[in-house]
C-alpha cells in the first residue's frame, strides 16, 4: 500500500517488519517475498546497490527452498536493476537465466516477457540483428496469449531495430524468427505507422 503511494520510507519500514517476522516464524518463502519487496522499494528510490543487496538475499532463500517461480522473479528484479544501471551484459545474463526457468516450468507468459526483455536488452546494446528475432518471438507469443502491455514493449524495441537495420535486413531477421515475408512486410508497415504517430 505505502509502496503504491510512493511513500518509500514507510514501505521499507513495513516490508522490513514483515521480513523480520517471517524470519522469526521460520517462514523463509514469505521472508524471501518481503526481502524482494524491500529490493523493489530501493530500486524505485534509485538506490541500485541496496536494491541488489536485498534481491540477492531473496534469491539465495528461494534457491535454498527450490522455489523456481520465486527464483525467476528475483532474477528478473535483479536484471531490471542491472538494466537501470546500464550494465547490459549482467541484465542479459539474468534474463537468459530466467528464460530457462520459465521454459522448464512451462510458463508461456513468463517466457514471452523474458524474450522481450532479452530482445530489448540486445537492442540497447546495439545488437539489433540478434534483438529483432527475439522481439518477434515475444510479440508472437504475447499476441497468442492476449497479454496486456507486452506487445507495446516489443513494438518499441522492434521499431528501434527496424530503424537501425534497414528494411531488408529487418525483414530477413523477422523471417529468421518464423514470420513469412508477407507478415514481416506488414510488421514493417505497422512500425512505420507507429513511428509516424509518435512524431
Q: What is the pTM of this model?
A: 0.85
The answer to whether residues 146 and 60 belong to one domain is no
What would the pLDDT profile of 149-186 be if each residue is shown by its tens digit?
Answer: 778 889 989 999 999 998 999 999 999 888 889 999 99
In a domain, 102, yes or no: no
CA 188 remoteness from chain centre:
24
CATH number (domain holding residue 136): 1.25.40
What would the pLDDT profile of 77-128 be if each residue is shown by its tens digit?
Answer: 999 999 989 999 999 999 999 999 999 999 999 999 999 999 999 999 999 9
**By the 8 A CB rule, do 131 and 150 touch?**
no
CA 68 remoteness from chain centre:
16
CA Rg, the chain, in Å? 19
Give the range of the structural domain holding residue 171, as residue numbers without chain letter. 107-199
Q: How many domains does the structure of the chain reveal?
A: 2
The answer to whether residues 124 and 198 belong to one domain is yes
Helices (H) and strands (E) in the chain, counts: 10, 0
The 3-state secondary structure of 108-137 reads HHHHHHHHHHHHHHHHHCCCHHHHHHHHHH
In a domain, 97, yes or no: no
Amino acid at each position: 500500500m505505502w509502496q503504491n503511494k510512493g511513500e518509500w520510507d514507510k514501505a521499507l519500514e513495513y516490508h522490513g517488519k514483515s521480513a523480520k517476522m517471517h524470519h522469526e516464524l521460520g517462514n523463509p518463502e514469505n521472508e524471501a517475498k518481503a526481502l524482494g519487496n524491500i529490493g523493489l522499494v530501493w530500486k524505485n528510490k534509485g538506490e541500485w546497490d541496496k536494491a541488489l543487496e536485498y534481491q540477492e538475499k531473496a534469491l539465495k532463500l528461494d534457491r535454498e527452498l527450490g522455489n523456481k517461480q520465486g527464483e525467476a522473479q528475483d532474477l528478473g528484479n535483479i536484471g531490471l536493476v542491472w538494466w537501470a544501471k546500464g550494465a547490459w551484459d549482467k541484465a542479459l545474463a539474468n534474463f537468459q537465466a530466467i528464460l530457462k526457468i520459465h521454459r522448464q516450468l512451462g510458463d508461456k507468459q513468463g517466457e514471452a516477457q523474458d524474450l522481450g526483455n532479452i530482445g530489448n536488452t540486445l537492442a540497447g546494446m546495439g545488437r539489433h540483428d540478434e534483438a529483432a528475432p527475439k522481439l518477434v518471438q515475444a510479440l508472437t507469443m504475447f499476441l497468442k496469449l492476449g497479454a496486456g502491455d507486452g506487445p507495446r514493449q516489443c513494438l518499441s524495441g522492434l521499431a528501434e531495430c527496424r530503424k537501425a537495420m534497414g528494411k531488408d535486413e529487418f525483414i530477413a531477421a523477422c523471417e529468421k524468427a518464423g514470420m513469412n515475408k508477407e507478415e514481416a512486410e506488414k510488421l514493417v508497415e505497422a512500425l512505420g505507422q507507429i513511428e509516424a504517430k509518435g512524431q
